[in-house]
Chain A
Amino acid sequence: MFYSEVKSKEQVIKDTVQTWREDFPAFQSKVHGKPLVYLDNAATTLKPRLVSQTMQDYYLYGTANIHRGVHYLSEQATQAFEATRSKVKKFINAKDECEIIFTRGTTESINLVALSYGQTFLHAGDEILISQMEHHSNIVPWQMLCERKGCILKVIPINDEGEIIVDEYETLLSEKTKLVSVVYVSNSLGTVNPVRKLIESAHRVGAIILIDGAQAVSHFPIDLQKLNCDFFAFSGHKLFGPTGTGVLYGKQELLEKMPPVYGGGDMIASVTFEKTTYNKLPFKFEAGTPHIAGVIGLGAAVDYFQSLDLTAIQKHEEDLLAYGTNQFDSIDGLKIIGKAREKKAILSFTLGPIHPHDIGTIVDREGVAIRTGHHCTQPVMEYFGVSATARASLSFYNTKNDIDTLVEALGKVQKIFQ
Chain B
Amino acid sequence: MNNELYQQTILDHNKKPRHYEKLKVYTHMAEGFNQLCGDHYYIYLSIAPDETIQEISFEGSGCAISKASASLMTSRLKGKSVKEAKLLYDQFHYLITGKLDLEKDTHQLEKLAVFSGIWQYPMRVKCASLCWHTLRGALEQTKTVSTEDSL
Stretch at the interface among B47-55, B61-69, B70-78, B85-93: B61-69
Chain A contact-residue range equals 10 to 19
CB pair B1–A373 under 8 Å, yes or no, is no
CB pair A416–B37 under 8 Å, yes or no, is no
Q: Report the Cα distance A362→B65, complex, angstroms.
A: 12
Closest to B62 in A: A355
CB pair B124–A361 under 8 Å, yes or no, is yes
| B63 touches which of A357, A374, A416 (Cβ 8 Å) | A357
Chain A residues, Cβ within 8 Å of B37: 355, 357, 373, 388
CB pair A416–B38 under 8 Å, yes or no, is no
| A387 touches which of B2, B61, B65, B123 (Cβ 8 Å) | B61
CB pair A362–B38 under 8 Å, yes or no, is no
Chain A residues, Cβ within 8 Å of B124: 357, 361
Is B82's CB within 8 Å of the partner chain A? no
Is B109's CB within 8 Å of the partner chain A? no
CB pair B64–A355 under 8 Å, yes or no, is yes
CB pair A357–B127 under 8 Å, yes or no, is yes
| A355 touches which of B11, B63, B121 (Cβ 8 Å) | B63
Chain B residues, Cβ within 8 Å of A366: 1
Closest to B8 in A: A416
Q: Shortest distance in angstroms between A116's beta carbon and chain B's nearest beta carbon?
A: 30
Q: Report the Cα distance A355→B40, complex, angstroms.
A: 13
Q: Shortest distance in angstroms between A33's beta carbon and chain B's nearest beta carbon?
A: 11
| A374 touches which of B6, B38, B40 (Cβ 8 Å) | B38
Q: Report the Cα distance A381→B124, complex, angstroms.
A: 21
Is A365's CB within 8 Å of the partner chain B? yes
CB pair B62–A365 under 8 Å, yes or no, is no
Q: Report the Cα distance A283→B6, complex, angstroms.
A: 54
Per-residue CB contact flags for chain B residues 1-40 toward chain A (1 = under 8 Å, else 0) read 1100110000100100000000000000000000011101
Q: Report the Cα distance A355→B124, complex, angstroms.
A: 13
CB pair A417–B38 under 8 Å, yes or no, is no
B-contacting residues, A377-398, CB 8 Å: 381, 387-388
CB pair A373–B63 under 8 Å, yes or no, is no
* Most chain A C-beta atoms within 10 Å of own C-beta, residue among B2, B36, B62, B124: B2
Q: Report the Cα distance A412→B14, complex, angstroms.
A: 17
| B11 touches which of A357, A373, A388, A416 (Cβ 8 Å) | A416
Is A170's CB within 8 Å of the partner chain B? no
Q: Shortest distance in angstroms between B2's beta carbon and chain A's nearest beta carbon?
A: 6
Q: Beyond A355-B63, A355-B64, A417-B11, is A362–B36 a contact (Cβ under 8 Å)?
A: no
Chain A residues, Cβ within 8 Å of B63: 355-358
Chain B residues, Cβ within 8 Å of A387: 38, 40, 61
Q: Shortest distance in angstroms between B117's beta carbon and chain A's nearest beta carbon?
A: 12
Per-residue CB contact flags for chain A residues 131-146 toward chain B (1 = under 8 Å, else 0) read 0000000000000000
Q: Report the Cα distance A361→B14, complex, angstroms.
A: 16
CB pair B121–A361 under 8 Å, yes or no, is yes
CB pair A365–B1 under 8 Å, yes or no, is yes
Chain A residues, Cβ within 8 Å of B11: 416-417
CB pair B121–A373 under 8 Å, yes or no, is no
Chain B residues, Cβ within 8 Å of A412: 1
Q: Report the Cα distance A354→B11, complex, angstroms.
A: 11
Q: Report the Cα distance A358→B127, complex, angstroms.
A: 10
Q: Shortest distance in angstroms between B8's beta carbon and chain A's nearest beta carbon?
A: 10
Give chain A's interface residues, CB within 8 Å of chain B: 354-358, 361-362, 365-366, 373-374, 381, 387-388, 412, 416-417
22 pairs, A vs B, C-beta closer than 8 Å: A355-B37, A355-B62, A355-B63, A355-B64, A357-B36, A357-B37, A357-B127, A358-B65, A361-B2, A361-B5, A361-B121, A362-B1, A362-B2, A365-B1, A373-B36, A374-B38, A387-B40, A387-B61, A412-B1, A416-B2, A417-B14, A417-B64
